[in-house]
Amino acid sequence: MTKYFILLFLFVSTLTFGQKYNIEIQLKPAAGVKIELAHYYLGNVYINDTIQLDNTGHGFFKGDSLLPQGLYKIYMNEKNHFDFLLGADQDFKLTNTSFNALDMKVSGATETEEFEKYVIFLQGLKDKSAEIREKMKTAGAAEKEQLSAEMSKLTPELHDYWKNVSQKYPNTFLASFLMANYIPELDISTLPKKIQDNDSLLLVARFNFQKEHYWDYFDYTDERFLYTPLFKPKLEEWFTKVLYQDYDSVKPYVINFIEKTRPHKRIFQFVASWFLNSSVNSHIMGMDALFVDLAKKYYMSGEAFWVTDESMDKIKENLLFAENNLIGMTAPELNLESVDGDFISLHSIQTEYTMVLIFEPNCSHCKVFVPAFHDKVYEKYKDKGLVVYTIYSMDNRKEWVDFLTKHNLYDWINVWDKNDVSRFKILYDARTTPGVYVLDQNKKIVAKKMTVEQLDTFFEHHLN
């Protein structure tokens, strides 16, 4: 709680003018002390208001404008706080005999009252689940089957609760909030028999169904969801687990998602920023191409109205180092001086696969990676079509030669660019070493940033 509880008051722009909020509090455990009214915002918690309760635990949170609807918190300290849903009705009384949300009572705000009932219902399901699991530890085969059947009814029961509330209170944030948790499942009985009977085809069908219906009940253009803990983890799960983890597959979905949020400035800002950061920090090979797309489309174009000069400078730097070495591109040509004084063109190398390896001898990772790759991978595939074009990234010839000699690397094409005339450090992003790029016979980049083990697997598959 300490990590995320940020003492920051709402900007005026988040408020709704013309109406007031008036939340009466009766909280005996906090009698005579200060408490805060706070809201969630994309995983963090921010303070809206602070009051001191009287000696009976009574007080009021008041304001001249309505608060954004969302999930809120009454907070005294790290160990004493509880959540409640704030809907359209913001003139009500909240009573609690503890800091447990299960003990909370609300009068005067239907959505907040119904959310409290949901919290109690949800706890009941959790207790049932725990009870069943405990019984299964000592149950016989027949009883386990019966208990499993009981367990399988809990999730549909939860879904039915969400749907009933949604039908009873349509067009409320309460309904939207509960149904946002619902992800429909494929009814396999609607599929052709040949798919139902084939595990692989059925797996693909389920994957595609979830991908297309993941957001059916979560309106990601609704700004109220920014004021909950739901949006960010939901987005992360979709991007990293629901979408097929490949740049070409991910790109159209991400662009379409961002475009739909354009009219909603706060959401547009969040999702464009989130996808930009997630793509540049992704461990999926080739996902840096998505960063390049987003940086050019939304940031370099001037549409990212929120970006600071400092952030823009960083984006421009990352773009400069990424845009020339993406998977699928023809590798930038280099014509560098070898250790023997000859100039060797990268594109002149005729072989099945060429690996560009950028290193510096004092790099701790290079000290392990370079000799390991040579001995464990290169030796296995050097006669099967693998050539290594190795670039020493510094300007100390003695250091370079000593390293080559120590590790017996003279069966590679060893080159350098002492004065950085070729700009290889930019073209091949040599900010960190070792830099690894695998090129096919046409000098197209087909892989990069791989470990020794990954390279071994790659060449085993492509050169055997």
Determine the distance from the C-alpha atom of residue 224 to the mean position of all C-alpha atoms in its chain, rounded to a whole number.
20
The DSSP call for residue 53 is -
CATH of the domain at 59: 2.60.40.1120
Residue 17 belongs to a domain:
yes
Q: Assess whether 354 and 292 both reside in one domain.
A: no
Reduced to 3 DSSP states, what percent helix, strand and coil does the chain have, rounded to the nearest 5? 45, 20, 35
Q: Assess whether 379 and 414 both reside in one domain.
A: yes
Q: Where is the domain boundary, 83, 109, 135?
A: 109
Q: Assess whether 303 and 383 both reside in one domain.
A: no
Q: Assess whether 310 and 340 both reside in one domain.
A: no
**What is the four-CA torsion angle of 149, 154, 160, 162, rounded to 10 degrees?**
-160
Please, are residues 114 and 165 in contact by the beta-carbon 8 Å criterion? yes
Q: Where is the domain boundary, 322, 357, 380?
A: 322
Q: Assess whether 401 and 295 both reside in one domain.
A: no
Query: What pLDDT was estimated at residue 18?
Result: 55
Q: Where is the domain boundary, 109, 127, 150?
A: 109
Query: What pLDDT was estimated at residue 19?
Result: 83
Residue 158 belongs to a domain:
no
Can you name the residues that pair with 60 across neighbouring β-strands? 24
* 285: CB partners within 8 A, 6+ apart: 327, 447, 448, 449, 450
User: How confident is the model over 51-97, as pLDDT tens digits?
Assistant: 999 999 999 999 999 999 999 999 999 999 999 999 999 999 999 99
Residue 432 belongs to a domain:
yes
C-alpha–C-alpha distance, residues 423 and 421, integer Å: 6
Residue 102 belongs to a domain:
yes
Please, are residues 174 and 115 in contact by the beta-carbon 8 Å criterion? yes
Handedness of CA 51, 54, 58, 60 (dihedral sign): negative
Q: Assess whether 349 and 451 both reside in one domain.
A: yes
Strands (E) in 313-392, as ranges, are 335-338, 343-345, 353-359, 386-392
What's the total number of domains in the chain? Answer: 3
Can you name the residues that pair with 85 across neighbouring β-strands? 71
pLDDT of the chain, 464 residues: tens digit per residue: 333 333 333 333 444 445 899 999 999 999 999 999 999 999 899 999 999 999 999 999 999 999 999 999 999 999 999 999 999 999 999 999 999 999 999 999 999 999 999 999 999 999 999 999 999 999 999 999 999 999 999 999 999 999 999 999 999 999 999 999 999 999 999 999 999 999 999 999 999 999 999 999 999 999 999 999 999 999 999 999 999 999 999 999 999 999 999 999 999 999 999 999 999 999 999 999 999 999 999 999 999 999 999 999 999 999 999 999 999 999 999 999 999 999 999 999 999 999 999 999 999 999 999 999 999 999 999 999 999 999 999 999 999 999 999 999 999 999 999 999 999 999 999 999 999 999 999 999 999 999 999 999 999 999 98
**What is the four-CA torsion angle of 251, 257, 260, 262, rounded to 10 degrees?**
-80
Please, are residues 166 and 175 in contact by the beta-carbon 8 Å criterion? yes
In total, the chain counts a number of residues equal to 464
Q: Assess whether 273 and 361 both reside in one domain.
A: no
pTM: 0.90
Q: Assess whether 425 and 452 both reside in one domain.
A: yes
Query: What pLDDT was estimated at residue 13?
Result: 40
- Amino acid, single-letter form, for residue 183: I
Q: Assess whether 416 and 312 both reside in one domain.
A: no
Whether a cis peptide bond, with omega within 30° of 0, leads into 434 is yes
Q: What are the φ/ψ torsions at residue 45 (nearest 5 degrees)?
A: -125, 130
Residue 277 belongs to a domain:
yes
Residue 144 belongs to a domain:
no
* Backbone torsion region of residue 190, taken as left when φ is above 0, otherwise alpha when ψ lies between -120 and 50, otherwise beta: alpha
Residue 138 belongs to a domain:
no
- Amino acid, single-letter form, for residue 27: L
Q: Assess whether 404 and 301 both reside in one domain.
A: no
Q: Which of 377, 382, 386, 383 is nearest to 452 (CA)?
A: 377
Q: Assess whether 383 and 450 both reside in one domain.
A: yes
* 300: CB partners within 8 A, 6+ apart: 315, 316, 319
Estimate the crossing angle of helix 364-373 against helix 452-462, to 10 degrees.
Answer: 30
CATH of the domain at 432: 3.40.30.10
Q: Assess whether 341 and 438 both reside in one domain.
A: yes
Q: Which domain holds residue 353?
A: 335-462
* 179: CB partners within 8 A, 6+ apart: 162, 163, 166, 217, 218
* 196: CB partners within 8 A, 6+ apart: 188, 189, 202
Residue 442 belongs to a domain:
yes
